[in-house]
Amino acid sequence: MGRNANAKSAESHLTTPTRLTGAEIVWATLVGEGVTTVFGYPGGAILPVYDALRKFPIHHVLVRHEQGAAHMADGYSRASGKVGVAMATSGPGATNLVTGIATAMLDSIPMVCITGNVSSKVLGTDAFQEVDITGITLPVTKHNFLVNKTEDIAHAIRYAFQIAVSGRPGPVLVDITKDAQQGTAIFDFEAAKPRAYRPHPMLHVDESGLKHAAELIKNAKRPVILAGHGISESGAMEQVRTLAERAQIPVALTLLGLGSFPASHALNMGMMGMHGESWVNTAIQEADLLIACGMRFDDRVTGTPSTYALKAKKIHIEVDPAEVNKNVKVDVGLIGDLREVLEELLPRIAGRDGSAWLKTIESSKGAVSVHDIKNLPDSGHLYAAHVMHDLWRITGGDAIVATDVGQHQMWEAQYFHHETPRSLVTSGGLGTMGFALPAAIGAKMACPDKEVWVIAGDGGFQMTAAELSTIVQEKLKINIAIINNGYLGMVRQWQEFFYESNYESTPLVSPDFVKLADAHGIAGRAVTTRAEVAEAVNEARKAPGAFLLNFMVEKEDSVYPMIPAGNALHEMIRRPGKNPLVESADDE
Amino acid sequence: MLHTFVAYVEDLPGVLTRVASLFRRLNINISSLTVGRSEREGLSRLTLVCEASEVAGHRIRASLFKLENIVDVDDIAKAPNVTRELALIKVAATPRNRAQIFDLVEVFRARIVDLTSESLMIEMTGVESKIEGLIEVLREDDGRILEICRSGKMTMRRGHHTSSVLKAMGKAPDESSLQEDVTEDAAEANADVEPA
Ligand SMILES: Cc1ncc(C[n+]2csc(CCOP(=O)(O)OP(=O)(O)O)c2C)c(N)n1
């Protein structure tokens, strides 16, 4: 009964000031902010809010662990561009959110978390299930609020939404005491609107900066665009593309930039950084101009900063002034929303002939693809790269892929070619294992018509595998690919390269993932050969419900190329000319 | 180099923690921090002094501004400014040696604000070096200083300049920005005008 009737009364709350309880104000405000889905887990200190839920047209997804709620809200936001909302009770509920909040913070994901807290009378007394969650999350939120008056709830939540999406986006937490939830106040949605966002004195695109940038672009012989997450966050895909095409500038992408410039575009060189292809990193090292768009020169993309792109002048277009000149000294910092800055810059950019530089880059690719595992004959062994390649081929790249963290994440980035923004959901800045499954749930809730895949390692999957139940409870069609190598693979690789193959605490015993899925009522199968991959992927896609594929891949395969920590960007460990794993297979 | 950040912050719980937390995270020691009411209702004015590189200083300023409760931030160490510190110094003094301290206090243009048979309290306002000077002289006589309380630095730009927030609100005349008025001469103009 009643969702429609509820919708009507919720609507009227928004137009006519009404006396409501604090708990009702929470939902009414969320409705007003356009929220339709909330991920959460109840408990004593947030019970008044849960009790009031039935009166409002919001779908609540019951998670299995609050970390899952935060990652779901995050995945929801990454896939849709909307603000994700997570909810938890006080104490342990609130602290369980922290990893998910930090994940969103490092990747600048707009998210609002609402937690209950003990009554204001006992705040600070170590009351049952009390923690200072605003104190705990201070360094991992863009901002947070402790609300202990009913009449302040609506404003705090509306303000939280505004902060979450403005400037450089990020997570905001609103902690509400139980007595504030229980009290009543006049709810006036309009009046609770936060004050106009304060102007940032450092946010101005100055004329001389634009002029200088245009001049540098005009005179560059070997320019490279560095494309980051800020492109999709500011919706600057068109502008970046226009810049690249007009001035014939090749584009290198960060992990979170993947998809914001089409993979199939002739000017797309691919991913840069620690596991980027050699020609991309070499081009950056050889460049005479870098145009950084919405990226922050993270150490995973620069290698050792003192050796980074020494021949290049640098233009940095960034919304966050604190990022400019932080890791890399730049010649021109254009501070502002990427799309707006590019729109001002583009009229100053004339057509340019970049063919010589593009040819040089093309020739530096050399024989790399010959060593690429996907191009080698079937040795009878299954490699993760085969799985990624087939997943990409069969889906036509038209799926949202949520990855976990580890080797499989890098293989996904290398072999699944993303054409559109928001199609790769991955934890870049924090590198949070356990992210994929809950984030995929959030993404599927945000985009129910999209095909959604989880790609996770056998290690990370076990961190949040309990959320399989959430998939079933929500009847979601999500396909899961576990890249099972029996190791904490990425750590094993580091041990192999830098710790004399001392595989301390990385071999991993796992449950039979197909049976685990079965126990949840999810179908699945194991895949052990390259020949089976395509068929298995098709079976999963055709299955009516969620489906789990357990890919038993080569155990000691490594991600190439790789820049060891402390090396310059061009000093990479290349793909072995002869893959030892394939060689030994041939011998058998 | 030494940075002097002046920030207008909202009078709300936890704001100072947010500011301090930023420096803790960067592992930078705050050498002086003073906060008090400002000319605007609901806003406090904070003066924070720390040692950091030039580049770090820019980033700290930008990061401070990112804090939601900070309304305005300026780094004014290089601008012509007036800096003051308040010190209360309690000194052991008997009627016999009081006169000598009175003379000292006179020379330093400080004031005696409390007097008992065994001690007296000196109030001094001035630049850091002057306060250090008085303390040094008082220390020459071993054990005479009983307690020192210092406020930390308070700094204000010289001239008609005012915070950009007030400017934006149309409440103050426009002035050229910080960077442009830092010249050698301007830095020298720091030579302090003594308080009346
Ligand atoms: C929560 C968390 N703990 C530890 C790590 C360190 N770490 C990074 S990759 C990795 C191994 C991941 O192994 P697995 O999930 O099996 O994926 P694979 O690398 O084999 O693809 C570990 C332990 C992390 N990123 N996150």
Supply the pLDDT for residue A526: 98
Q: Average the pLDDT over A39-68 and give the result.
A: 98
ipTM for this model = 0.85
Residue A344 has pLDDT above 70, yes or no: yes
pLDDT tens, position by position, A5-14: 566 677 788 8
How many whole angstroms from A412 Cα to the centroid of ligand 1?
15
**Average of per-residue pLDDT across B47-67:** 92
pLDDT mean across residues, chain A:
94
pLDDT-based confidence at residue B167 (cuts at 50, 70, 90): low
Ligand 1 atom nearest A488 alpha carbon: 13
3-state per-residue secondary structure call for A492-548: HHHHHHHCCCCCCCCECCCCCHHHHHHHCCCEEEEECCHHHHHHHHHHHHHCCCCEE
- Determine the pLDDT at residue A131: 95
- Residue B174 is predicted with a pLDDT of 37
Quick check: B181 pLDDT over 60? no
- Interchain contact, B13 vs A326, CB within 8 Å: no
A292-296, A348-352, A388-392, B142-146: lowest mean pLDDT where?
B142-146
Contact A109, A84 (CB under 8 A): yes
The reply to whether A577 touches chain B by the CB within 8 Å rule is: no
Place of tokens 């620069």: A302
**Those residues with Cβ within 8 angstroms of residue B25's Cβ, 6 or more apart along the chain or in another chain:** A139
- Closest residue by Cα to residue A146 from A90, A67, A74, A66: A90
- Cβ–ligand 1 contact at A491 (below 6 Å): yes
pLDDT at B180: 34
Indicate if ligand 1 lies below 6 Å from the C-beta of A486. Answer: no
Mean pLDDT of A129-155: 97
SS3 call for A559:
coil
Q: Give the pLDDT band of residue A102 (cuts 50, 70, 90).
A: very high
Distance separating alpha carbons of residues B66 and B55, to the nearest angstrom: 17
pLDDT at B50 over 50: yes
Burial class (CB in 10 A: 0-12, 13-18, 19+), B194: exposed
- Among candidates A138, A201, A322 on the partner chain, residue whose Cβ is nearest the Cβ of B63: A322
| CA B134 from centroid of its chain's CA atoms | 18
Residue scoring higher pLDDT (A227 or A582): A227
What residue in A sits closest to B64 (Cα-Cα)?
A322
| Percent of chain B that is helix, strand, coil (3-state, to 5) | 30, 35, 35
pLDDT band of residue B55 (cuts 50, 70, 90) is confident
Question: Would you call A135 an interface residue with chain B, using a CB distance cutoff of 8 Å?
Answer: yes
More confident position, B183 or A326: A326
Band the pLDDT of B57: cuts 50, 70, 90. very high
Residue A193 to residue A173: CA distance in whole angstroms: 17
pLDDT tens per residue, range A116-141: 999 999 999 999 999 999 999 999 99
> Which of B59, B60, B63, B66 would you mutate first to test chain A, the one with the most A CBs within 10 A?
B66
Give me the pLDDT at residue B175, please: 38
Residue range B93-120, pLDDT digits in tens: 988 889 989 999 999 999 999 999 999 9
